[in-house]
Structure 1
Amino acid sequence: VKTPVMAYCLMPDVPVVHAHDSSGGQAGLLLTLTRSIPYVITRRSSRPVGKNPITRSAVSRSCGVICPGPAAAALIRQDDFDCPVDVIEDISHEADDTTDAADRIAVAHMRVYRRAADSSHFSALLI
């Protein structure tokens, strides 16, 4: 999905959205404001969020931010956003690219999704 409007049109009934970039965060913001669909954001940037009000709103209204390392998480925490921040390593950063590592990462993501949607069984849409 390339734009927030396309996300709005194509995703009428998903329990939670997982956004991976700034346009995905905008799509999540649009879906939560218009359809009350919760979303989480993965933020990999080593720079602070910045002053853009839409980007800041997308982060602050998210149900959580997933960071691949503690440095990215510290940047979110220093801005005092009200959303939970979780550090979950990417599979590409794992020294052992095994099934155990992939399973551990999947379990960590499901924990974040469950917290976001307050549900015990669902799939997440990745944008």
Structure 2
Amino acid sequence: MSEAFDIIKAHYAASDRGDLDGMVEAFAPDVAWIEMDGFPYAGTYVGTDAIKSGVFERLGREWKGFSADMEELVDGGDGTVVGIGHYSGTYRATGRSMRVRFVHVWRVRGGKVTGFEQFTDTHGVRAAMD
């Protein structure tokens, strides 16, 4: 497998451990993180601090047991890695749970994560929140 594959695999392993610093360890300073339109945190976040506060900290605060369970990691070559899996968790404000499919497309250049784009079932996430 490629260096990019190993970097993204390490990101998901850190996520499984609840290790936020480990999750962002290989992020480039100007990493662009895209949350899908329709997702509650939709938008583009640039830089580690923006990603932590705009995505990861909100997920931890608003969801009980939120997780991204990886099922398959695909090395696309040329620094592209695709992760396929499920999100799950319970929205604290409603007590409703969800389990939805996701696809993550990662870009790695020079040993650093430079891009991330999320594709997911936004309707299933919103249903747990309403």
> What is the TM-score when the length of structure 2 is the normalising length?
0.26
Indicate the structure with greater strand content: 2
